[in-house]
Structure 1
Amino acid sequence: MAQQLRGNDLRQLGFPEGRAIGLALAQLQRKHLKRLSLTNQLTLLQQILTTPMDFVTHLDWSYVAAALLPPPSRHIELVARKPYALYGAEHIEAGALHQMDTAMKLPVTVAGALMPDAHHGYGLPIGGVLATDNAVIPYAVGVDIGCRMALSVYNLPPKHLTQRVQELQKLLLDNTRFGNRTGFQHGRKMGHEVLDREEFRDIPFLRNKQATAADQIGTSGSGNHFVEFGIVDITDPTNEMGVPVGQYVGLLSHSGSRGLGASVANHYTKLAMENCQLPNEAKHLAWLSLDGELGQEYWAAMNLAGAYASACHEHIHQRMAKALGERPLAKVENHHNFAWRETLADGREAIVHRKGATPAGKGVLGVIPGSMTAPGFIVRGRGVADSLGSASHGAGRLMSRTRAKQELSESAVRQHLTDHGVVLQGGGLDEAPMAYKDIRAVMQSQQELVDVLGSFTPKIVRMDGA
Structure 2
Amino acid sequence: MQELMPQVRGWVQGLEIEPAALSQLRNISKLPILAGPMAVMPDVHMGIGATVGSVIPTKAAVIPSAVGVDIGCGMLAARTQLRAEDLPTSLAKLRAQIERDIPVGFDAHKDMPRVKSIGLEGMKLDQRRVALEDRFQKLKIREYLGRFEESRLWKQCGTLGGGNHFIEVCLDEDGSVWLMLHSGSRNIGKTIGECAINLAKDQARELQRNLPDRDLAWLDEGTPQFEAYIEAMLWAQDYAALNRDIMFVLLRAAAEKALGRPIQITFESVNCHHNFTTVEEHFGERMWITRKGAVRAQAGQFGIIPGSMGTRSYIVRGKGNPMSYCSCSHGAGRRMSRGEAKRLFDLEALKAQTEGVECRKDGGVLDEIPAAYKDIDQVMAAQAELVDVMHTLKQVLCIKG
- Interval containing the TM-score (normalised by the shorter chain): 0.7 to 0.9
- AA in 2 matched with 1:250: W
- AA in 2 matched with 1:177: P
Change (3 A) 1:185 1:456: farther
Task: Tell me the SS of whatever aligns to 1:447.
Answer: coil
CA distance in 1, matches of 2:337, 2:172: 29
Task: Tell me the SS of whatever aligns to 2:83.
Answer: coil
Matches within 5 A, 1:19-58: none
- AA in 1 matched with 2:153: A
2:332·2:375 contact (CA, 8 Å) conserved in 1?
yes
Residue in 2 aligned with 1:260? 188
Two-structure CA RMSD over aligned residues (Å): 2.0
1:161·1:459 contact (CA, 8 Å) conserved in 2?
no
2:132·2:235 contact (CA, 8 Å) conserved in 1?
no
1:232·1:454 contact (CA, 8 Å) conserved in 2?
yes
Matches within 5 A, 1:295-306: 295-306=226-237
CA distance in 2, matches of 1:408, 1:384: 38
Change (3 A) 1:98 1:358: same
2:113·2:155 contact (CA, 8 Å) conserved in 1?
no
Q: Which moved more, 1:284-293 or 1:162-171?
A: 162-171
Quote how far apart the aligned CAs of 1:193 are.
3.2
Structure with larger Rg: 1
- Aligned partner (choices 97, 119, 123) of residue 45 of structure 2: 119
Consecutive unaligned residues of structure 1, counting only runs of 5 or more, are 1-80, 234-245
How many residues are paired up? 369
1:158·1:231 contact (CA, 8 Å) conserved in 2?
yes
Change (3 A) 1:441 1:194: farther
Quote how far apart the aligned CAs of 1:148 are.
0.9
Consecutive unaligned residues of structure 2, counting only runs of 5 or more, are 117-125, 257-261
- Aligned partner (choices 290, 303, 308) of residue 371 of structure 1: 308
Residue in 2 aligned with 1:332? 270
- Say whether residues 1:361 and 2:298 are aligned partners: yes
Matches within 5 A, 1:58-77: none
Residue in 2 aligned with 1:83? 7
1:87·1:446 contact (CA, 8 Å) conserved in 2?
yes
- Say whether residues 1:228 and 2:168 are aligned partners: yes
CA distance in 2, matches of 1:158, 1:126: 35
Normalising by structure 2, we get a TM-score of 0.87
2:353·2:369 contact (CA, 8 Å) conserved in 1?
no
Matches within 5 A, 1:91-106: 91-106=16-31
Quote how far apart the aligned CAs of 1:405 are.
1.0
Residue in 2 aligned with 1:381? 318
Task: For CA contacts below 8 A with separation 6 or more, give which structure has more relative contact order.
Answer: 2
CA distance in 2, matches of 1:260, 1:161: 37
Residue in 1 aligned with 2:120? none
Quote how far apart the aligned CAs of 1:201 are.
2.9
Quote how far apart the aligned CAs of 1:164 are.
5.0
2:112·2:154 contact (CA, 8 Å) conserved in 1?
no
- AA in 2 matched with 1:311: L
Structure with greater proportional strand content: 2
- AA in 2 matched with 1:136: V
2:357·2:398 contact (CA, 8 Å) conserved in 1?
yes
2:139·2:232 contact (CA, 8 Å) conserved in 1?
no
- Say whether residues 1:413 and 2:338 are aligned partners: no
- AA in 2 matched with 1:322: A
Residue in 1 aligned with 2:357? 422
Residue in 2 aligned with 1:62? none
Matches within 5 A, 1:175-214: 175-184=101-110, 188=114, 191=126, 192-203=129-140, 204-205=142-143, 210-214=150-154
CA distance in 2, matches of 1:226, 1:185: 22
How high is the sequence identity, in percent, across the aligned residues? 34
- Say whether residues 1:153 and 2:91 are aligned partners: no
- Aligned partner (choices 224, 230, 245) of residue 314 of structure 1: 245
